[in-house]
Amino acid sequence: MKSQSRVPSSLRQASTAIARAAFASAAGQPNISLRDNAATTASRRRLLSTANPSLTRIHPAPGSKRPAPARPQQQSLPITTRRYLHAQTARRSGAPSNPAMKFPCVDALETRSATLRKQATSRSDESGPEPSYTAGATQTFHSKDPILLDHGGQLVEFDIAYETWGEMNADRSNVILLHTGLSASSHAHSTLANPQPGWWEKFIGPGLALDTNKYHVICTNVVGGCYGSTGPSSIDPSDGKRYATRFPILTIQDMVRCQFRLLDHLGVETLHASVGSSMGGMQSLAAGVLFPDRVSRIVSISACARSHPYSIAMRYVQRKAILTDPNWNRGYYYDDVPPHMGMKLAREIATITYRSGPEWEQRFGRRRADSSKPPALCPDFLVETYLDHAGEKFCLTYDPNSLIYVSKAMDLFDLGRDNQVATATRRAERAVQLEEGSLLPTQDLSSCSLTLPDQPYEETENGDGAAALEEERLDGSVPHRQKQAAATATQGSNPPADLVAGLAVLKKHPVLVMGVASDILFPAWQQREVAEALRQAGNRGVEHLELTEEQSLFGHDTFLLDVKNVGGTVKDFLS
């Protein structure tokens, strides 16, 4: 039996005295229990050193010079700077002043975890409690040929889930490739095999935006997703186990290359149009840049040509909500309880960015779900119950690992020339390694295990860019002009030369770029940046439309809801 060391009573008395002194000082009262004199200070130091000799360094003698301490991995705060917020002792017993709060929202999460854990332990197979991530029946294309990915990984084979509407003409020239947003499946419209309404149900059909009397529409679930296409929840054919976080890092361009493998399989040489919104708008632009000879027209709605810090930050917080869920288990949760709590929070964060404040003011205002009841710390206001419901619906219908991988691909998106050249160089080097057989079947873990930098990021007094501008001023440059250029670039009227060069390959393509003034996730200036970059690259066939707040208060989700403005404009452009 292990012996338990007891704290000397003298040390406990000294600690109590220190705590009382700290509270007295915080309250502005004279220190009665602990006199500030040399004898008491020395006595206290001796008592503390008895329990832990290393603490004597924290209290040097009066007038002595404090030595510069080494920086250990974890350094505790000096005792004199600690806050004794929990040092009060109970004064009396009896009934509490107020009843304990109830948290039905937390109870519900704990109940779900218990249910999922019970299901996991009671199953006889190894599939675990994870739901079947599917939106219904799809067609599936299986590629047996490996594909090299932009950041060095590879898929030795992969599946693409897809659905189609309308008839393909004889020369296969009437095909439209519809790209999805982050969490959407290939089910954009109802089919005979799956009659449930799709996510773009009112935009696809006879006489609609994507007119099935004229066009053959194909929509896929992206690689990395979980609705039938190969992703982290899929089985790695090399060892028969789920990929989980052994799945390689993806880019938007990787997703598009896989889609064009499907087009090759279907015998489609040239697309009538590449169409997409949000992440789909990124894919649509990437399709034109990667395969300019195979795409005739491009539609990009509420998207960008390079991800910007705000949207990267929002997706980072969503991923962190999942990664910090104890059930995430570094991605290996498929045989146990999935990280449904983190997933729910991630969806709630995302939902905030999908709509606009003015719309929520109209829909919810400051109304509470039940004003006859006292306020609660669980969902109480109508807007809170809306977010809670959005997270509840989503947390077990989409694979958390897919959200992590696909959202990271969005962050990495950049159609600038420099990024294209760097990626092409990296792919060429890896392709040579593949041919020579020197490329390992699994990635070098040391090359993809990121850590925080040794020197943390620190803002300068006047902002991070101020110091650089000052250095350039000393070199004889004119920082005022650069400040003006930075300000105009932020509004999209003066895109960077790197992006202009990267989009130059599209100068002969008709391109429709649409944005929404109420969109906070992909602000309208980002679509202006795309349109202006294309114009500066020599494109004379750019059409740019920006819906005002009077036309739509739906924010980023406008592309899902506005059949008249979005659907009508797309229909006219494709004709």
Active-site residues: which are they? 278, 519, 556
Q: What DSSP string runs through 289-327? A: HH-TTTBS-EEEES--SB--HHHHHHHHHHHHHHHTSTT
Q: Do strands 298-301 and 511-516 pair parallel, antiparallel, or not at all (unpaired)?
A: parallel
Of 387, 375, 318, the closest CA to residue 348 belongs to 387
Of 174, 214, 184, the closest CA to residue 297 belongs to 174
- The answer to whether 247 touches 224, Cβ cutoff 8 Å, is yes
| Cα-based torsion angle of the residue sequence 304, 308, 311, 314 in order, rounded to the nearest 10 degrees | 160
**Residue 136 phi/psi, 5° resolution?**
120, -170
Query: From the CB of residue 429, how many other CB atoms can be counted at a distance below 10 Å?
Result: 12
Instruction: Give the C-alpha separation, 209 to 568, whole Å.
Output: 6
User: Which residue's structure tokens are 């699994």?
Assistant: 442
Burial per residue of 413-424, b for 16 or more beta-carbon CB atoms within 10 angstroms, e otherwise: bbbbbebbeebe
E strand residue ranges, 120-279:
139-143, 147-148, 154-155, 158-165, 175-179, 204-205, 210-211, 216-220, 235-236, 241-242, 273-277
**Cα three-residue angle 440-441-446, rounded to 5 degrees:** 60
Q: What DSSP string runs through 419-459? A: HHHHHHHHHHHHHHHHHHT-S-SS--GGGS-----SS----
- Structural tokens at position 456: 């943390």
Q: How far is CA 108 from CA 92, 355, 381, 496, 508, in A?
A: 35, 26, 18, 49, 56
Phi-psi region of 419 (alpha: psi -120 to 50; beta: other; left: phi over 0): alpha
Of 574, 426, 424, 429, the closest CA to residue 505 belongs to 424
Query: Which helix (H) or strand (E) covers residue 111, if one does?
Result: helix 104-122
